[in-house]
Amino acid sequence: MGSAAGGVEALGTGLVEPAMERGWKVAVTLTPTAGHWLRMSGEVERLEKLTGLPVRDETRLPGDARPHPPVDCYVVAPASANMVAKLAVGIADNQALTQVAEAIGTLGLPVVVFPRVSAAHARHPAWQGHLEVLREAQVHLVYGPDVWPLYEPRQAPSGRELPWTAVLDAVDRAME
């Protein structure tokens, strides 16, 4: 899963390709905004060719076949502050959020979330509560200064610098 957070443009090279090199089957679902961004750049088509599966960013109609195989682990990276907040309170207003919200409530199905937020988002009074709710739900968070230093909004680093290896390693640990 990818949301409209900075770094989503590097999802293919940063996360999908290395995951496939580890032997994982990868299916990509995006929030509608992330889907729009990546369609505009041609990245959706590249991801579909790479994975052999359609990239989802819309709900399917009743009776439509499921386009992705069953999932062993969900990875939400990068997760915008908006996506983290919605997951914490159970808002499922798009395909990506619906899938992850259901996964959080499914016993034995690991969920790994990498919040890609600025220091300003992290200073919001509700932020720590959102993280705590997700931790209580057994969501594996890839978060903290040892993983990814917070940045001020006007100094946002590129997506290529994101801690993609830490996200992949968190999946390995979650699947043990």
* Domain boundaries of the chain, sorted by first residue: 8-57+72-175
Side-chain half-sphere exposure of 73, counting CA atoms within 13 A: 22
How many residues in total does the chain contain? 176
Strand positions, DSSP E, 3-125: 74-79, 111-115
For the cut 90, the answer to whether the pLDDT of residue 44 exceeds it is yes
Backbone φ and ψ for 68, nearest 5 degrees, come out as -115, 150
| Both tokens assigned to 27 | 């299916």
**Is the CB of residue 11 less than 8 Å from the CB of residue 162?**
no
Does residue 63 contact residue 34 with C-beta atoms inside 8 Å?
no
Nearest to 116, CA basis, from 25, 58, 31: 31
Q: Are strands 74-79 and 140-141 parallel, antiparallel or unpaired?
A: unpaired
Beta bridge partners of 76: 113
Output phi, psi for 72, to 5 deg: -95, -25
The CATH class given to the 8-57+72-175 domain equals: alpha beta
The pLDDT tens digits of the residues spanning 2-38 come to 888 888 899 999 999 999 999 999 999 999 999 999 9
Asked if 116 and 6 count as a contact pair (C-beta separation under 8 A), the reply is yes
103 three-class SS: helix
Tens-place pLDDT, residues 73-109: 999 999 999 999 999 999 999 999 999 999 999 999 9
pTM of the model: 0.93
Q: Cα(111)–Cα(136) distance, rounded to whole angstroms?
A: 12
- Provide the percentage of residues in the chain whose pLDDT is more than 70: 93
Longest dimension (CA), the chain: 46
